[in-house]
């Protein structure tokens, strides 16, 4: 076994038996490269990555290949989920080389960590040729490689704000800008299958979350219908686990049909949040089904005993992608022979399979009402039969060999899931969802905070790797929601504590944005800032929205001043490329229309808060207390009526409207986009 045997990461442990002399990232490997004057090979992946497994089987388990790697390179293996900061640096480098990024990411560095070449997956023969060529070039032309690496090093150290011409400052906000942003996004919709018109198809929840709120605030029924259309298509697709709940990362086609079957916590947290809102607005039971089933999956398969959630489930089981999730027609006919006619119509089942190796992916292209009508059933009877079938098939599927599990706990991804669970509680009223969220927040606070510093990863009773902005921003957002849902000030205080730490440690006053990594925690060859959304909304935008909300909860202007300047810096880019800046666009929307600060104080405050939260109004915050209190600034000075019953105060910029006692009266005081 190599040095990776001492790692906690499931991905690194998968490589612990390789004949490659792998090092984890750290001083030992970097020193060895300098002392022996060898180039460094950094190979980055994650445990649920299909092509990472393929490359391991073909190359890293092969003795001849390993001998080449060991002789000429210091080989470092990195789990990108543990060290997204290093992944960001070297992904940027590969893209600066004009190469396609992706995972596994394989990058060649000089001993000083500066990159000179890279790529993603290589078949074994090409990989061996590349290793030999680079070893030869390093032996004969190290000076030229060093010169190339210096150039890439300079590129990596160029500030993102300089690269994109960003200058922080207070923005001028105009409703016409949002009209333009929405028009640009709408032009990229897929009218047939929903989502954005591109292949492969990623759900990209931040886009639809922004568009749903914009549709509600501008009373745009057509746009709202398009958002719901996309969410229905995703929920009907093979990308959604029709039996157990939960969403895979993306579909390889344009129809949401065939996914890479890995399920990531970060996708499911965001999609849970989004489907909960869709149900609150539409009352469509289809959206409720996705919310309930996804929480059931989470509780059954992803929950750690202390309240944390595991990171991911693999795509592969028994060495085959999707084997766990797919069915042959014969298998299904044996288990549920009487139900096959309508089930085949519902899920596009074919005797020869609708996918590879005679397998069928459960793929819904017709509505429940259509299928019920065709087979002379009411929808209620169809649902009853469908739930029985799902339970039977799930019982059989649970006997199969499960896909691999990445059982480390990541702070930021758990923050995204906590927020999703709180929104799901608002949508369903199911207390278990709130309990799961608050237990999760307690876990993050008690187990992943060490000496006042949040840590990124938790495994086997140990928190390690100081957290990144992604972690802080997601956890601050979830903590603010925890305060709104529970009424407990500890969550507001925790959010403020984390935000103050970020301002002290991550904030770059020279350009007004936050570093992704804490520059004071570890010396890397570059300190990066995230500005563009990926599958997770960009951490600077989550942070800006957090600071905006925090200023309204606490009445502290220092937070809103930073947030406003960040938005000012990003405004021109949002207008140019909204598809990659939707969370910034969401903040633009929240800044243009005043965010409502709702304080509810008196007997029955909790019930009135629940009414507002379950109805779903975009762009407001809620604080509540059954008794007058001075604990949270948003509640200070607010009193119940003369009988002690709760009053609702709708305020803007700390100035309150006339207090009211009903949801309808409060709703009438909320602003809309003219």
Question: Residue 224 has what pLDDT?
Answer: 98
Question: Residue 406 has what pLDDT?
Answer: 93
H helical segments located in 348-378: 368-374
For range 229-236, the mean pLDDT: 98
Question: Residue 277 has what pLDDT?
Answer: 98
Q: Distance (Å, rounded) from C-alpha 322 to C-alpha 245?
A: 15
8-51 confidence digits (pLDDT tens): 999 999 999 999 999 999 999 999 999 999 999 999 999 888 89
Query: Which two tokens mark 233?
Result: 């298509």
Asked whether the bond before 200 is cis by omega within 30 degrees of 0, the reply is yes
Residues 497, 127 contacting (CB under 8 angstroms): no
252-278 confidence digits (pLDDT tens): 999 999 998 999 999 999 999 999 999
Ordered DSSP codes for 238-290: TTB-TTT--B-SEESSSSS-SEE--EEHHHHHHHHHHHHHHHHHH--HHHHHH
Taken in order of first residue, the domains within the chain and their CATH numbers are 3-158 (3.40.30.10), 175-323+406-592 (1.50.10.10), 329-399 (no CATH), 596-668 (no CATH)
* Range list of β-strands (E), 404-480: 405-406, 409-410, 449-450, 453-459, 462-466
For range 292-305, the mean pLDDT: 97
Q: Distance (Å, rounded) from C-alpha 67 to C-alpha 64?
A: 5
Q: To the nearest whole percent, how much of the chain has pLDDT over 90?
A: 94
Is 457's pLDDT higher than 90? yes
Query: Which two tokens mark 144?
Result: 């030229």
Is 93's pLDDT higher than 90? yes
501 vs 1: which has the higher pLDDT: 501
- Residue given tokens 């030992």 in the structure block: 28
Is 674's pLDDT higher than 80? no
Q: What is the DSSP letter of 195?
A: S
Q: Distance (Å, rounded) from C-alpha 574 to C-alpha 532?
A: 10
370-390 confidence digits (pLDDT tens): 999 999 999 999 999 999 999
Query: Which two tokens mark 236?
Result: 């009907």
Q: Distance (Å, rounded) from C-alpha 324 to C-alpha 248?
A: 13
How many of the other CB atoms lie within 10 Å of CB of 78? 25
Residues 244, 301 contacting (CB under 8 angstroms): yes
Is 100's pLDDT higher than 90? no
Is 226's pLDDT higher than 90? yes
Query: Which two tokens mark 71?
Result: 């002789």
Q: Distance (Å, rounded) from C-alpha 612 to C-alpha 593?
A: 19
For range 193-221, the mean pLDDT: 97
Question: Residue 49 has what pLDDT?
Answer: 86
Q: What is the DSSP letter of 587?
A: H
Question: Residue 421 has what pLDDT?
Answer: 98
* Model pTM score: 0.95
503-552 confidence digits (pLDDT tens): 999 999 999 999 999 998 888 999 999 999 999 999 999 999 999 999 99
Q: Distance (Å, rounded) from C-alpha 190 to C-alpha 197?
A: 4
Question: Residue 50 has what pLDDT?
Answer: 84
Q: To the nearest whole percent, how much of the chain has pLDDT over 70?
A: 100
How many of the other CB atoms lie within 10 Å of CB of 286? 18
Q: Distance (Å, rounded) from C-alpha 501 to C-alpha 514?
A: 12
Question: Residue 321 has what pLDDT?
Answer: 87
Query: Which two tokens mark 96?
Result: 């600066």
Q: Distance (Å, rounded) from C-alpha 242 to C-alpha 234?
A: 11
Query: Which two tokens mark 668?
Result: 């009438």
For range 621-645, the mean pLDDT: 96
Q: For helices 605-615 and 411-428, what crossing angle results, to 10°? A: 100
Query: Which two tokens mark 592?
Result: 């243009």
146-203 confidence digits (pLDDT tens): 999 999 999 999 999 999 999 888 889 999 999 999 999 999 999 999 999 999 999 9
Q: Distance (Å, rounded) from C-alpha 448 to C-alpha 442?
A: 10
């Amino acid at each position: 076994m190599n040095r990776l045997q001492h790692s906690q990461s499931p991905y690194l442990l998968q490589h612990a038996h390789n004949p490659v002399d792998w090092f984890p990232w750290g001083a030992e490997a970097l020193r060895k490269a300098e002392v022996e004057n060898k180039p460094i090979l950094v190979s980055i992946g994650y445990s649920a990555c299909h092509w990472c497994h393929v490359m391991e089987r073909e190359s890293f388990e092969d003795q001849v290949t390993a001998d080449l790697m060991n002789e000429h390179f210091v080989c470092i293996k990195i789990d990108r989920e543990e060290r997204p900061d290093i992944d960001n640096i070297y992904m940027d480098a590969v893209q600066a080389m004009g190469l396609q990024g992706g995972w596994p990411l394989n990058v060649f560095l000089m001993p000083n960590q500066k990159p000179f070449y890279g790529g993603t997956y290589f078949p074994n023969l090409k990989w061996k040729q590349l290793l030999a060529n680079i070893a030869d070039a390093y032996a004969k032309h190290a000076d030229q490689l060093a010169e190339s690496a210096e150039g890439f090093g300079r590129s990596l150290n160029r500030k993102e704000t300089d690269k994109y011409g960003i200058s922080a400052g207070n923005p001028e906000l105009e409703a016409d800008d949002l009209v333009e942003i929405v028009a640009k996004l709408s032009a990229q919709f897929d009218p047939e299958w929903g989502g954005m018109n591109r292949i492969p198809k990623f759900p990209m929840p931040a886009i639809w979350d922004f568009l749903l709120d914009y549709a509600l605030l501008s009373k745009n029924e057509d746009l709202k219908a398009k958002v719901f259309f996309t969410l229905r298509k995703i929920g009907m697709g093979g990308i959604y686990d029709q039996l157990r709940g939960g969403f895979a990362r993306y579909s390889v086609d344009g129809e949401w049909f065939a996914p890479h079957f890995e399920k990531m916590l970060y996708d499911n947290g965001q999609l849970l949040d989004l489907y909960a809102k869709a149900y609150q607005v539409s009352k469509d039971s289809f959206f409720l089904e996705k919310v309930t089933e996804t929480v059931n999956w989470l509780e059954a398969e992803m929950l750690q005993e202390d309240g944390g959630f595991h990171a991911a489930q693999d795509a592969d089981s028994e060495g085959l992608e999707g084997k766990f999730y797919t069915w042959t027609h014969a298998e299904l006919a044996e288990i549920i022979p009487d139900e096959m006619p309508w089930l085949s119509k519902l899920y596009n089942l074919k005797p020869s399979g609708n996918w590879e190796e005679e397998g069928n992916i459960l793929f819904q292209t017709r509505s429940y009402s259509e299928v019920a009508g065709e087979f002379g059933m009411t929808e209620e009877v169809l649902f009853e039969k469908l739930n029985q079938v799902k339970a039977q098939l799930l019982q059989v599927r649970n006997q199969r060999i499960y896909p691999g599990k990445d059982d480390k706990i990541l702070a930021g991804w758990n923050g995204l899931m906590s927020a999703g669970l709180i929104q799901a509680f608002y949508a369903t009223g199911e207390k278990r969802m709130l309990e799961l969220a608050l237990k999760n927040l307690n876990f993050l606070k008690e187990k992943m905070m060490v000496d006042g510093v949040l840590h990124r990863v938790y495994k086997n009773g140990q928190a390690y790797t100081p957290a990144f902005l992604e972690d802080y921003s997601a956890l601050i957002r979830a903590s603010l929601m925890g305060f709104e849902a529970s009424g407990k000030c500890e969550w507001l205080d925790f959010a403020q504590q984390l935000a103050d730490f970020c301002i002290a440690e991550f904030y770059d006053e020279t350009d007004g944005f936050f570093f992704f990594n804490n520059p004071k925690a570890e010396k890397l060859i570059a300190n990066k800032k995230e500005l563009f959304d990926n599958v997770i909304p960009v951490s600077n935008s989550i942070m800006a929205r957090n600071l905006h909300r925090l200023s309204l909860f606490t009445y502290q202007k220092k937070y809103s001043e930073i947030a406003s300047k960040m938005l000012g810096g990003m405004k021109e880019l949002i207008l140019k490329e909204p598809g990659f800046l939707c969370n910034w666009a969401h903040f633009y929307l929240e800044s243009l229309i005043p965010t409502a600060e709702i304080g509810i104080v008196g007997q029955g405050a909790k019930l009135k808060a629940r009414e507002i939260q379950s109805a779903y109004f975009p762009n407001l915050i809620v604080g509540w207390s059954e008794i007058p209190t001075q604990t949270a600034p948003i509640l200070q000075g607010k009193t119940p009526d003369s009988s002690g019953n709760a009053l609702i105060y709708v305020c803007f910029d700390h100035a309150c409207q006339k207090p009211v006692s009903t949801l309808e009266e409060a709703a009438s005081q909320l602003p809309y986009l003219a």
